[in-house]
Amino acid sequence: MESKNSYITFGAQMGDANADQAVGPHLEELNLLLDRYCKKSYCKELNELALILRVDGELWHFGIEGCDKLRLSKKQGYITMDIGMPESKWKNQMPNSIRDFLISHLVLSLELMIKRLKKELFAVNEAELWADISRVKERFLVS
């Protein structure tokens, strides 16, 4: 089922301008790939799989690393998860390290989301989701 809006979204809250400058371009490219390859519904009960990246910086410090706060709203039709990125994962890091962090936590978040959806007895088209995510990952890591 094709959708006009993005089905997998990856928003962000940046801790400062330096965090945005270091991480933002990679996240933007990842979102373009998600929009290109994952624009279909993988679970009929949901309108969106929403990831929120919380990047530590000098203005805001979220104090989390990795996946956190999985929330499912059956009424609103979405599932969301926060991903914490401490300064040590982006400050003075090579672009490929930042990209590896983003894609590995995207995959881990989706795995955790699917596990929760299955627990709630939601049908998830996993084969198609992972095939599409594989294309995203392949293109993201070679860019």
In the structure, what pLDDT confidence band is assigned to residue 39 with cuts at 50, 70 and 90? confident
Q: Is the pLDDT of residue 29 over 70?
A: yes
Longest CA span, the chain: 43
Rounded Cα–Cα distance for residues 40 and 124 (Å): 12
The continuous run of DSSP H or E covering 32 comes out as helix 17-37
Residue type, 105: H
Secondary structure (3-state) at 29: helix
pLDDT tens figures, 46-63? 999 999 999 999 999 999
* Average pLDDT of the chain to the nearest whole number: 94
Tens digits of residue pLDDT in 64-88: 999 999 999 999 999 999 999 999 9
